[in-house]
Structure 1
């Protein structure tokens, strides 16, 4: 069976026998006919070869799982398909996580990137989903869990904790809109799921910079996922029950 997938969705398929030819010269970005190269105009990234047929779940993750950080052993390495590793500012330390190890934040420490890997968060109407485990510590105050900044353009505190300990998800629709969640308890792991699409808007689930929000987070995070699609309630539930 031959199949072609676009953005994680099956686009076409047909019955076909296995390739039984010999290895020849392989090219990426050009095809050769009668000794003449016909080049591709555009961009190609993250090209990989797998010596097996992937299933639909694996292909969907390849297409839409943007980053996944397990934070095991204090690592900021992206365990997803794109290799978008983070950089620490201040002291980030490994701690007991919800799943294996998590990452502890204190004294104003945070994780950042030297470039803009999350371009789609600034595209109007582009769906996305964020899922992570949170365990706040210290005292209730304004704290930021996820902050996105496009230099000299816009910025947004996507997930914050208010001075009353309430979880708030921020979105943009010509003005700041927010979905309010519950009060987060200290030293207790809570799973947070935040999804957005033009169909359903912002959905916050539990088991210009926004004024009045933001600040350094004190506590621990674990199992951070960012998708370029809207996850279903069942998919968020699966992440909350590893």
Structure 2
């Protein structure tokens, strides 16, 4: 059985063969400017062709089957998150659509997932909403936290799968051993992906049979810092931190 996350489908030859039990994000774009149709798999361009613009004024759209013959081919698998947008997206937008897993703005104290998958969080303890780096933030102190069931975070359990975790953090009070992001799997393993040591030093952890750690700088107290954690089989774990002032400087050289 094949599992797909479909956006839109068109008849373009691709170079990739689908793999059983693998989730694939598929986008098809068509633009009258370049007269080109393209198909993207998991954010990567996989096939394209020259094509005239669609001039039809009406028609029938089907998902999972076509009725062009008396013996229609039926799709066998899962389809989710179908979208049609009346414009051609660029490569950056398509890559973001294909790879964004969850996005929590925390605006107004909300634990709602503003991303495409609707993986909402549950608060344990009392969390208060406060002024954030971008709109509002949640204030964590002495116990309260937010948790999400592991099942939706599917790719964190696949060996070698690339990932990025990004957030703004503002430590207050005094330095202490603290966890920013922690993942536990029912099968038994767990990783403190992002932690702050008692010295204030930021540490990014991964797993390769044993814990693999990458040390970052000391996070300044009472200052917003943007933290980016990335992993790929090519570059391993990489950690990037920028204060709000540094971000402003990069945006306004």
| TM-score normalised by L of structure 1 | 0.80
Distance 1:197 1:84 in 2: 24
2:55 to 5, 8, 20: 20
Distance 2:149 2:229 in 1: 25
In the other structure, the counterpart of 1:6 is 41
Deviation at 1:27, TM superposition (A): 1.9
| TM-score normalised by L of structure 2 | 0.77
Distance 2:211 2:108 in 1: 37
Alpha-carbon displacement from aligned partner over 1:82-123 (angstroms, at most 9, x marks no partner): 322222222222111112211111231111124522111121
In the other structure, the counterpart of 1:76 is 111
Cα distance change on mapping 1:241 and 1:168 into 2, 3 Å: farther
Deviation at 1:22, TM superposition (A): 4.7
Note if contact 1:136-1:185 (Cα within 8 Å) is conserved in structure 2: yes
Give runs of aligned pairs for residues 209-228 of structure 1, distance below 5 A.
none
In the other structure, the counterpart of 1:210 is none
2:228 to 193, 197, 212: 193
Distance 2:69 2:225 in 1: 61
Deviation at 1:13, TM superposition (A): 1.8
In the other structure, the counterpart of 2:69 is 34
Distance 2:69 2:47 in 1: 29
Distance 2:188 2:77 in 1: 26
Cα distance change on mapping 1:241 and 1:87 into 2, 3 Å: farther
Give runs of aligned pairs for residues 1-242 of structure 1, distance below 5 A.
1-207=36-242
Note if contact 2:202-2:218 (Cα within 8 Å) is conserved in structure 1: yes
Note if contact 1:91-1:106 (Cα within 8 Å) is conserved in structure 2: no
Cα distance change on mapping 1:205 and 1:115 into 2, 3 Å: closer
Deviation at 1:241, TM superposition (A): 5.8
Alpha-carbon displacement from aligned partner over 1:170-195 (angstroms, at most 9, x marks no partner): 00111111001122222111111111
Greater CA radius of gyration, 1 or 2?
A: 2
Distance 1:84 1:160 in 2: 23
Mark the runs of 5 or more structure 2 residues left unpaired by the alignment: 1-35
Note if contact 1:169-1:178 (Cα within 8 Å) is conserved in structure 2: yes
Number of aligned residue pairs: give it. 212
Deviation at 1:205, TM superposition (A): 1.4
